[in-house]
Amino acid sequence: MSSHGDPIPMTSSASGPLRGEAHVPGDKSISHRSLILGAMTVGETKVTGLLEGQDVLDTAKAMRAFGAEIEKTGDTWHIHGVGVGGFAEPDNVIDCGNSGTGVRLIMGAMATSPITATFTGDASLNGRPMARVTDPLALFGTKSYGRKGGRLPMTLVGAADPLPVRYEVPVPSAQVKSAVLLAGLNAPGDTVVIEKEATRDHSERMLAGFGATIRTEETDEGRVITLQGRPEFKPQTIIVPRDPSSAAFPVCAAIITEGSDVLVPNIGLNPTRAGLFFTLQDMGADLTFENMREEGGEPVADLRARFSPDLKGIEVPAERAASMIDEYPVLSVVAAFAEGKTHMPGVKELRVKESDRIDAMAIGLRAAGVRVDEGEDWWTVHGLGHGNVPGGATAASQLDHRIAMSFMVMGFATQKPMSVDDGGPIATSFPIFESLMGGLGAKIERKGAEA
Ligand code: S3P
């Protein structure tokens, strides 16, 4: 089922060569944070390059419900925020659609204001664990009342007299880290978050940009992040960089599709996000970083990906997992076209994304003729080599945009077309996916598999 409307079956088939430039949309993580931090700032924050995917639009709607004024003129989003601790109580239930990032960050942002809000989402989001966020928020004094197992729909009663907290994040999750930091904004004194594995650091960078006093120290315990509560935020002008997680799709498509040569300009290579690109290079992919530069304090490059017929399976370092957590589905597709096994350990978190991503990919890959072994926190794809992957299957996208896009990419290079039962979820993060890939020469049609 599609999250917003009827299912949209899609089929992709032998394509290529893929050629041209792929201008992918704005970064989803930074887009959510721009809206939320803008809503917590008095004055006008201006944002260009915002991802206009459904996940981010749902966060914009939520920020309006908490009292911010948000409008778009031309290419610019204007946010007039209410200040740290200034959120109004929403009149209605907050529907975050498909977005774990949206709901978890917003819960953090409202948790230390004396207001009550009820959150819900689609079937995927309502099945995902929220205790990982509400447990640390309880330390501030926030109360939560959800369904069994800490699931949405859930009501949060913000702490009227919040206490700052010191919290060690038990799972590698930027969403949990960010929720605690956002809650810490309206608590007096220092809130400290410790993470053993480095996860994406957009919240830390952006909080500093808005004027918070925040520092990160690398210690024997891990990364210790200290945020001073009750800052006076200054409105910002934000240019959202393009999303490396969306860039992954045209990059991987070019690598597996004969004769391809695709340039994906302006991609952020923040080391907490860029793990996939180094993994592809380790597999022997012809992927280069051109025009390396710094923009807004972040490393940026134009990625050039070319067809790579001699990919080899590798052991993906477990310590790289957090920096490429959203990219494993499409990596598993590339692995199917490599010679030999690609083993991916340390990836338990994949089981609690928009879908159980190991399960969703393994089922579709097996149906397409590829052997996959799996355990609770690892999986192995047995590659067949270029030209040898049968395809000819319909995969269930399970309300998960990245599952749908991964199988569409796979179909460009399989012997028989690949289908998904519902490409609707693609619009949550990459609404121009079909037209962008089509412009490069890829064949994607809105229809199911041939009978
Ligand atoms: C995100 C963090 C990651 C990632 C998600 C975006 C963020 O989730 O998978 O797509 O913007 O903070 P986890 O925090 O669950 O790892």
267, amino acid identity: I
Name, in order, each residue with C-beta under 8 angstroms of 179's C-beta and a sequence gap of 6 or more.
Answer: 104, 105, 107, 108, 111, 133, 136, 137
Ligand 1: does its nearest atom lie under 6 Å from the Cβ of 11?
no
CA of 326, closest atom in ligand 1: 9
Cα of 385 from ligand 1 centre, angstroms? 32
Ligand 1: does its nearest atom lie under 6 Å from the Cβ of 99?
no
Two structure tokens written together for 47? 């944002």
| Domain 28-158+165-170: assigned CATH number | 3.65.10.10
Q: Is 402 annotated as a binding residue?
A: yes
State if pTM tops 0.75: yes
- Of the candidates 303, 174, 305, 295, which has an alpha carbon nearest to the alpha carbon of residue 241? 295
**Residues 100/126, Cβ–Cβ less than 8 Å:** no
CA atoms within 13 A on the CB side of 237: 2
Q: Please identify which of the residues 27, 201, 243, 326 carries the catalytic annotation.
A: 326
Q: Which residue has the least CA distance to atom 13 on ligand 1?
A: 173
pLDDT at 31: 97
- Of the candidates 393, 407, 404, 411, which has an alpha carbon nearest to the alpha carbon of residue 427? 404
Stretches where the chain sits below pLDDT 70 are 1-4, 451
CA atoms within 13 A on the CB side of 432: 14
Q: Which residue has the least CA distance to atom 15 on ligand 1?
A: 173
Ligand 1: does its nearest atom lie under 6 Å from the Cβ of 178?
yes
Other Cβ atoms less than 10 A from the Cβ of 5: the count is: 10
Question: What torsion do the CA atoms of 201, 97, 246, 178 make, to the nearest 10 degrees?
Answer: 0
Cα of 258 from ligand 1 centre, angstroms? 33
CATH architecture of 10-26+242-446: Alpha-beta prism (3.65)
Catalytic (active site) residue 282:
no
DSSP assigned state of 424: G
Q: Is 128 annotated as a binding residue?
A: yes
DSSP per-residue letters across 329-359: HHHHHHHHTSEEEEEEES-GGGGGSSS-HHH
**Residues 1/20, Cβ–Cβ less than 8 Å:** no
The b/e string for 197-215 (b: 16+ C-beta within 10 A; e otherwise) is bbbbbbbbbbbbbbebebe
Ligand 1: does its nearest atom lie under 6 Å from the Cβ of 175?
yes
User: Each residue of 68-103: pLDDT tens digit?
Assistant: 999 999 999 999 999 999 999 999 999 999 999 999
Ligand 1: does its nearest atom lie under 6 Å from the Cβ of 397?
no
User: Same CATH fold, 28-158+165-170 and 10-26+242-446?
Assistant: yes
pLDDT at 16: 85
- Of the candidates 116, 154, 164, which has an alpha carbon nearest to the alpha carbon of residue 133? 154
Q: What is the residue extent of each domain of the chain?
A: 10-26+242-446, 28-158+165-170
Which of 37, 99, 200 has most ligand 1 atoms within 8 Å of CB, for mutation? 200
40, amino acid identity: M
Helices (H) and strands (E) in the chain, counts: 12, 23
CA quadruple 382, 388, 394, 398: dihedral sign: positive
What's the CA gap between 308 and 329, in Å, rounded?
A: 19
pLDDT at 451: 55
Cα of 103 from ligand 1 centre, angstroms? 11
pLDDT at 1: 33
Two structure tokens written together for 191? 């809130």
Q: Which residue has the least CA distance to atom 16 on ligand 1?
A: 173
